[in-house]
Structure 1
Amino acid sequence: MKKHLPKFGRYSLLFHFMIWFLIMSQILRFTFFIWQYDEVTWNIIDLIRTLFTGLFFDIGTITFISLAGIVYYTIMPNRFIGTLLDKILVCFFTALTTFILVFTFFAELTFWDEFKTRFNFIAVDYLIYTHEVVANIEQSYPLPLLIGGVLLLTAVFLFIFHKRKAFTDTFSSKAGLKTRIVVLSCALAIALFFGSFIHNYQAEWSSNRYNSEISKSGIYSFFAAFRNNQMKYVDFYTSIDNDKAFGIIKEKLKNPNARYNSMGYSIHRTITDSTPSLENKNVVFVLVESLSGSFLKEFGNKENITPFMDSLAQKSIFFNDLYATGTRTVRGMEAVTLCIPPTPGQSIVKRPENQNLYTVCSVFKSRAYDCNFFYGGDGYFDNMNAYFGGNGFTIYDRGRGSVLSDKIKTTRNNINDNEVTFENAWGICDEDIFNKMLKVADAQYKDSKPFFNFVMTTSNHRPFTYPEGKIDIPSGTSREGAVKYTDFALRQLFKKASTKPWFKNTVFVIIADHCASSAGKDEIDVANYHIPAFIVNLSEQYNQKIMKQCSQIDLWPTLFSIFHWNYESDFFGKNVLASKFEERALMGTYRKLVLMKKEKVMILSDQKKQAFYTWNKSDNSLKSIPMNQSFLDETISWYQTADYLFTNKLLK
């Protein structure tokens, strides 16, 4: 006998739609389980808890999605039920919402493929920068096939609703006042319950990060991230007295060459060096997109995709055990310009009131350097132009607009079409942006200006396309090809630069913004923060492999010490070459804040939680250990003071 869902009368289509969503969400959840089959916890209790936690959040999600429809069904008088207007409104919005949700399910699959997580703050950012994201999708996936598939599946699901007589029952049934009140009251009660008492972090019940992520509902996670993109440290994290926090950090930053200029809540100090400084060397700084340490042969890779960088490691100051502060480009930019630990929520690059900060550009400007920022895409993306323009850099990008905000007093220069040989969704290829920088450097040299040129690369990014015929891996086929092309472009940069009259007096600094992937089964995947860094073209006497554990924020203080510069500092980074340098790394996500010292790892989480682990480098696993109060206080101090200084405008 053919079974049907219970008759829901006027609400039949709505309930079919809601049940369809719950079923599809669980199918997606099973898909993620199978996808990460060797990483998730499969024991029956964890499996059931993952599925039921997911179902719980899905119920809240579909209630919010359906609320407008429930209100419509509730207020529509019975005499208008089944009219042409009623049919048009119900059919149109049911079809549209089904299409959007099917597309969202597909989007979750691609997002998981890239980030191994449900929708988060990255998805929120992608919604803002639609040009780059849509172009990336077009170049990464067969879009006509994707849209066609979404339309086809939408039609199939609507046909199933039709076959189950959901449309017929909805347009032929009247709804009594009692039914209307009960349905609306239940929906409002569920919505108020989820809106008032349920938070997305409550899905994170498992020590296995994958089980927790799969427990979430992607749409619910998206809106949770949208609401919490900025997080004040003291509201969300364990804190201590500010006097104690600043006392700890001032002690950590204490240095025979440093003199604090204030007794209050400040780390501002004057750095002096008794050794005569080197002449003002030009500096070309290259921040390389997604350059994981694991790509280099130097760190065990067998694919030979970074032959040039591996050669540089033998004739440079090479940082062997350096860690990125975050998982996104703006975090890398924040780390290398402000030398600050990652504050919770959005990167400072994307926040309001981020102009006129004390950055490394301030140090160069104090020595009359010409400072420029080169980006092959539109610097509007991720607020880069506003941040760099507001902090002293002249901008060179492929912006569709021609001016910056009136509040930002800087110059913006478009990279012209005749300077471009290849371009994809994220910008021009690495060779082209390097060639533009070389052209500007020639002009700077001609004008007798020492220069600090900051270049952000883009080629090592999905869709992984680059000019054909440059390397032996076809364009658009793999991440490995994009890495190898970036390595090729760097070789070309040095080859061309070596012919320039300014080359001998120029230092090249190369570092990754973050790793290609940061996700793992543990709270923090430590190995996926390990990145390479090089200081190239100093005298051979400086060349060495630095084996000390350190952070992105230590790069510039180390170089400034090599230059023997005297300068003002608000930096949290330290000179790695100092004999008393205390090894440590600071890193995090937009919610997790980490201090690592050797193999010990402290993680601060929102909801004022903390966890202490030992890291096994051989298998990249974290093992819980008893809490250490002094280690916890130090971890809190790094992040609490950094957040305090920025939010109170003390980094200006």
Structure 2
Amino acid sequence: MINRILPKRFSLLKTFAFIYLTFAFIVRLCLYFYAFNHIDFSFINLIKILGIGLFFDIGSLAYFLALYAFYLLLIPVKFHGSKLDKIITKFSFGLFVFIITFSFLAEIPFWLEYQRRFNFIAVDYLLYTYEVVENIHQSFPLPLVISFIVLVLILSIKFAKKRDAYKNTFENSDSFKAKIIPFTILLLTVILFHINIKNVQAENFTNVNENELAKSGIYSFFAAYKSNELNFKDFYVTISPNENYSILRNSIKAENDSLLNFGKNIKRYTKNIGIEQKPNVIFIGLESLNARFMERFGSEDNWTPALDSLAKKSIFFTNLYATGTRTIRGMEAISLAIPPTPGRSIVKRENNDNLFTIGEVFKQKGYSRTFIYGGDGHFDNMTNYFSYNGFDIVDRKKSHRLAEKLPTKRNRIEDNEVTFENAWAACDGDVYNKLIKTVDEQYKSKQPFFNFVMTSSNHHPYSFPKGVIKSDEKTRENAVKYADKTFEQFFEKAKNKPWFKNTVFIVMADHCAYSAGRTEINVQNHHIPAYIFNLENETPKEIDKLSSQIDIFPTLFGYLNWNYNSTLFGKDISKMTPNDERAFIGNHRKVGLLKPNKLLILETQKQHTSYLWDKEKNELTTTKTDTIFLKETISYYQSAFELFKNGGLKNTEFNK
């Protein structure tokens, strides 16, 4: 049947399709093996995964085939087998085999890191070829990877020759009429998938790993590319504008807040009682640090003795959750004190300049503001975001990058200040040393300073300088231990500095490692450590109120007795009542509101799901939706989206 539909001219195309589907099947089985411990094995589900996967593989394959089929359709019979025809055909076959081999191989380490098929993270990484190529080079034996791809290419060519695919493609007299039928079928398949088949339609299981296994990596990549920014009103259930802001303003207003006006905004004045303190402030963002890595949260591995030790001397928030699973989500939450907007982080979006960030509150109090990062801050648009929102920049600007014209100062971490760096950044030890140099200079100016520092060593490929900890092996455990050790070394140096006594330190993770789980959102994998150290006149204590990354700086401002204007969504954790406790968690398309015993998730296609949450067992059980809880959840996310899109988070709003 296939041979009757596909004329000889399409022989190489048919061979490529066989290679593609075979490779896709093998990769899916490999990923199934890696995910086996995270799924509840069922033979029926396995068959469904393979069947749905084949369907989406055919859809992604159709895009490749249609492009080449269009060429085959247009070339007249007299040019079949011409020199130009052979060059184009052989080059296209080799290029396509190379592309699919590389993409299929790339899916394996991507799965090991994120337990997902290609998604928006892969789309973002595509824009940063230097970091990605270096990461691959430092994580895997690149010569072996290239050799394998070349081997697959050679075997594919030999396979095609053995099937006489080249001969049949070049030596035939198939007419336009014979070629139009297979081309039309391919074109209709592409149109069907492009218009009607959505990637989420592969999600037919309760287990997130099984949903991901049923997808095609390449198809998922392009689906993520198209949906990197989601219009909340198009994809999510909404409520009327008046009801939305009425609920929101009531939800975020604290007893010491005064709403500045009514309408579609959250502008308010926060008043704290007591003499205002203006210590220097250093925020240290810990890369990928789960709360459960710490002894305080049950770990018996002793990975973080320094972090645990300092936490005992601090205001320690033991029930705080990250909003997302990536660094730029953490930066968004911390700097804007806003729930995560679905799709791309605001850090990477257009029109994200001149926003009301926490930096504006520091500006009201006369502080300098600096963002410090050990990598090239162009990655994930961090440099532009912080600079165009008033922060000076200290980063590892690569010499080969074109110089950006930024509105604030930019100070490079020089080569002679770096003892070790990997694909992403200079090691944490070098970043802390640069921080100390920077603070020494800032201290001379007599102006209070706020520094936002982002670490990176606890990130794949988990590489770090030799000799700092006992083992140099590149593992997550050792990366955490190295990060903890350099954290300890930083404070040992800082305590001898004249600025230390008058400096408050905020320590918090940007997100967790191992963010995947059996369900789409694993609550435990958003639990992160956070504490405030060195506050004057405050005794160390633990605060177990359910809270979010967006609350940490409003809490600091409360401890410092600051009075200020803001558009921040966050609340002062120390002043929270039981009714105030909540956290925001999301993972690109799904966003949720977490309460002490329940969770509501908003999903695309205007769907939502309610759960009862057992914190001790980390179990979610579906339950009937509470309408009031649903509207509260919608109000947070709908208003966050609207305020950003409509300019309601801009500084200029306070002048109106």
TM range, smaller chain? over 0.9
Q: Given the superposition, is the C-alpha separation of residues 44 and 395 from structure 1 closer, same or farther in structure 2, using an over 3 Å criterion?
A: same
Question: Residue 394 of structure 2 aligns to a residue in which SS?
Answer: strand
1:421 matched to which residue of 2? 419
Q: Deviation of residue 418 (structure 1)? A: 1.4
2:374 matched to which residue of 1? 376
Alignment of 1:53-452 (within 5 A): 53-278=52-277, 280-400=278-398, 405-406=404-405, 408-452=406-450
Matched, 1:538 2:535: yes
Question: Residue 94 of structure 1 aligns to a residue in which SS?
Answer: helix
Q: Deviation of residue 5 (structure 1)? A: 7.7
- Residue by residue over 1:314-365, the C-alpha shift from the partner in whole angstroms, topping out at 9 and shown as x without a partner, is 1111111110001110000011110000001111100111111111110111
Q: Is the 8 A contact 1:599 1:616 kept in 2?
A: yes
Select 2:466's aligned residue among 461, 465, 468. 468
AA at the equivalent of 1:333: M
1:525 matched to which residue of 2? 522
Partner Cα separation in structure 2 for residue 548 and residue 404 of structure 1: 45
Unaligned runs of 5+ in 1: none
Alignment of 1:532-571 (within 5 A): 532-539=529-536, 541-571=538-568
- Residue by residue over 1:545-596, the C-alpha shift from the partner in whole angstroms, topping out at 9 and shown as x without a partner, is 1111110001001111000100111111101111525111101011010111
Partner Cα separation in structure 2 for residue 45 and residue 630 of structure 1: 39
1:505 matched to which residue of 2? 502
* TM-score scaled by length of structure 1: 0.97
Unaligned runs of 5+ in 2: 651-656
Question: Residue 106 of structure 1 aligns to a residue in which SS?
Answer: helix
Q: Deviation of residue 161 (structure 1)? A: 1.7
Question: Residue 542 of structure 1 aligns to a residue in which SS?
Answer: coil
1:481 matched to which residue of 2? 478
AA at the equivalent of 2:424: W
Partner Cα separation in structure 2 for residue 608 and residue 132 of structure 1: 37
AA at the equivalent of 2:397: G
Partner Cα separation in structure 1 for residue 61 and residue 7 of structure 2: 17
* TM-score scaled by length of structure 2: 0.96
Partner Cα separation in structure 1 for residue 26 and residue 416 of structure 2: 50
Q: Is the 8 A contact 2:377 2:396 kept in 1?
A: yes
Partner Cα separation in structure 1 for residue 196 and residue 67 of structure 2: 21
Partner Cα separation in structure 1 for residue 83 and residue 14 of structure 2: 22
Q: Deviation of residue 404 (structure 1)? A: 6.2
Q: Deviation of residue 636 (structure 1)? A: 0.5
- Residue by residue over 1:490-541, the C-alpha shift from the partner in whole angstroms, topping out at 9 and shown as x without a partner, is 1111111100111111001110000012111202011110100111112463
- Residue by residue over 1:609-634, the C-alpha shift from the partner in whole angstroms, topping out at 9 and shown as x without a partner, is 10011223344332111111111111
Partner Cα separation in structure 2 for residue 115 and residue 389 of structure 1: 30
User: Which moved further from structure 2: 377-386 or 607-616?
Assistant: 607-616
Partner Cα separation in structure 2 for residue 403 and residue 580 of structure 1: 50
Matched, 1:23 2:22: yes
Partner Cα separation in structure 2 for residue 217 and residue 466 of structure 1: 35
Q: Deviation of residue 45 (structure 1)? A: 2.9
AA at the equivalent of 1:556: F
AA at the equivalent of 1:531: I
1:490 matched to which residue of 2? 487
Partner Cα separation in structure 2 for residue 250 and residue 195 of structure 1: 41
2:600 matched to which residue of 1? 602
Partner Cα separation in structure 2 for residue 327 and residue 302 of structure 1: 25
AA at the equivalent of 2:189: I
Partner Cα separation in structure 2 for residue 38 and residue 419 of structure 1: 44
Q: Deviation of residue 400 (structure 1)? A: 2.4
- Residue by residue over 1:101-128, the C-alpha shift from the partner in whole angstroms, topping out at 9 and shown as x without a partner, is 1111100011101100000000001100
Partner Cα separation in structure 2 for residue 470 and residue 233 of structure 1: 47
Partner Cα separation in structure 1 for residue 85 and residue 374 of structure 2: 51
Q: Deviation of residue 84 (structure 1)? A: 2.1
Q: Is the 8 A contact 2:235 2:605 kept in 1?
A: yes
Question: Residue 373 of structure 1 aligns to a residue in which SS?
Answer: strand
Q: Is the 8 A contact 1:470 1:485 kept in 2?
A: yes
Question: Residue 330 of structure 1 aligns to a residue in which SS?
Answer: helix
| Identity, % of aligned positions | 46
Report how many residues are paired. 646
AA at the equivalent of 1:570: T
AA at the equivalent of 1:518: S
- Residue by residue over 1:441-494, the C-alpha shift from the partner in whole angstroms, topping out at 9 and shown as x without a partner, is 11111111111011111111111111111111215x201111111111111111
2:653 matched to which residue of 1? none
1:577 matched to which residue of 2? 574
AA at the equivalent of 2:48: R
Q: Is the 8 A contact 1:386 1:404 kept in 2?
A: no
Partner Cα separation in structure 1 for residue 42 and residue 402 of structure 2: 57
Partner Cα separation in structure 2 for residue 334 and residue 257 of structure 1: 25
Question: Residue 424 of structure 1 aligns to a residue in which SS?
Answer: coil
